[in-house]
Amino acid sequence: MIISGLAARPVRTLVSVLAVALEVTLILVVVGLTTGISSETAKRTEGVGADIMFQPPNSSLFLAINNGSMPLALEGAIWKIEGVTAVAPVQTLVNSSSGLEIIYGIDPDKFAAVSGGFVWHEGGMFSGVDDVVVDDVYALAKKVHVGDSVELVNHKFRVAGIVEHGKGARLFISQKTARELTGLVDRASVFYVKISDPEQVNAVIERMGKVFPTYGLRPLREYAKLMMSTSMPALDAFIETVVFVALCIGVLVIFLSMYTTITERTREIGILRALGASKQFIVSLIFQESALVCFLGIIIGLGSSLLIGRAVQVVFPTLIVDISLAWMGKAAGFALISGIIGSLYPSIKAAGQDPVEALAYE
């Protein structure tokens, strides 16, 4: 009866199913992109290989939005902390002409001392001020090879080398070039610090804190955890807003669909009541139809989210859509909740209809 009821109104059923699918897709793709990008950034930052991240006071975890910078001379003071074995100053630049990309201005030797050096796919380290080293993901996304030109921060660069991804940024230039592009002389946005015994990271941070009490000192191995949405209130609020909007879409569509269904089927409800169907039976009938619509919408929504995630990665390899099983479950749950809320009033209205009046409905 439920299937035949839905099949009798194919267009409305299809629209309702697609709306629920849209709800699921909206949640999964937006959350997937947000968490994907942040977790991938975190992994890359962790991939630098340092033990401690040394940042200016009141700095953000997002290196791209750090305006403040520190004197390069701090490097010497950091070296004096007991247990420090390598320090790599990095000046970050943001290229926003084609998406949002962080560029690291590095001293190759110091960066290699912390990170263990690059794994080269093509070419080699930058030698001139117009040279840039890119990672393999960027090279694939932009379809560039060694010797090709790329435009970054309104400056034309030549690709000097292509390296394995996972060392902080996707683009690397020399400190000298970074200095020229930012106009900031002898400054660093972040110091990556390597210590002799990673187990002693908290002790080293404590010692650093006594010398640099206002600076941001974070163990790198906790960076990924800190970048997760639960640790970032703004990201959390953004995701909650997206989920709320998606939930509203689902509730409204299911409500409209079920409300028009019960209005059209008033006479049928009257027939069922005359046959001895209880109010609970009518409520359950409406809920079952709604649940079936939600179920189909969830299946299509999950499928389309995975397809969109895959398509995004094919078209934009630098974007990561992280669709986790946990969020698939949550999105399905939200779709079901919207189905329940959306069909609550229509089902109660249907069950409350007077059988005599319902039978007389034309």
Residue ranges in contact with other proteins by CB under 8 A: 1, 4-5, 7-8, 267-268, 270-279, 281, 354-356, 359
Q: How far is the CB of 139 from other proteins (least distance, A)?
A: 58
**What beta strand segments (E) does the chain contain?**
52-55, 70-71, 84-95, 101-106, 120-123, 131-135, 149-152, 155-163, 171-174, 187-188, 190-195, 216-219
User: Which residue type, as a one-letter code, is found at position 340?
Assistant: I
Q: Which residue number, 114 or 258, has a Cβ lying nearer to other proteins?
A: 258
Q: Are 93 and 105 in contact (CB under 8 A)?
A: yes
SS3 160: strand
Q: How far is the CB of 287 from other proteins (least distance, A)?
A: 17
Q: Which residue number, 155 or 349, has a Cβ lying nearer to other proteins?
A: 349
Q: Which residue number, 183 or 276, has a Cβ lying nearer to other proteins?
A: 276
Q: How many CA atoms does the CB half-sphere of 246 hold within 13 Å?
A: 30
Q: How far is the CB of 298 from other proteins (least distance, A)?
A: 24
Q: Could you say which DSSP state residue 167 is in?
A: B
Q: How far is the CB of 269 from other proteins (least distance, A)?
A: 10
> What is the residue whose two structure tokens read 């002693």?
200
Q: Which residue number, 7 or 325, has a Cβ lying nearer to other proteins?
A: 7
Cα-atom radius of gyration of the chain, to the nearest Å? 29
Q: Which residue number, 260 or 278, has a Cβ lying nearer to other proteins?
A: 278
Q: How far is the CB of 296 from other proteins (least distance, A)?
A: 18
Q: Which residue number, 226 or 348, has a Cβ lying nearer to other proteins?
A: 348
How far apart (Å, rounded) are the C-alpha atoms in residues 314 and 360? 58
Q: Are 165 and 320 in contact (CB under 8 A)?
A: no
Q: How far is the CB of 348 from other proteins (least distance, A)?
A: 13
Q: Which residue number, 100 or 360, has a Cβ lying nearer to other proteins?
A: 360
Q: How far is the CB of 19 from other proteins (least distance, A)?
A: 22
Contacts of 32 (CB under 8 A, 6+ apart): 305, 309, 321, 322, 323, 324, 327
In the structure encoding, which two tokens stand for residue 125, read together?
């380290």
Q: Are 89 and 175 in contact (CB under 8 A)?
A: yes
> What sign does the CA torsion over 105, 109, 115, 121 have?
positive
In the structure encoding, which two tokens stand for residue 232, read together?
């970032």
Q: How far is the CB of 347 from other proteins (least distance, A)?
A: 16
How far apart (Å, rounded) are the C-alpha atoms in residues 243 and 224? 23
Q: Which residue number, 30 or 269, has a Cβ lying nearer to other proteins?
A: 269
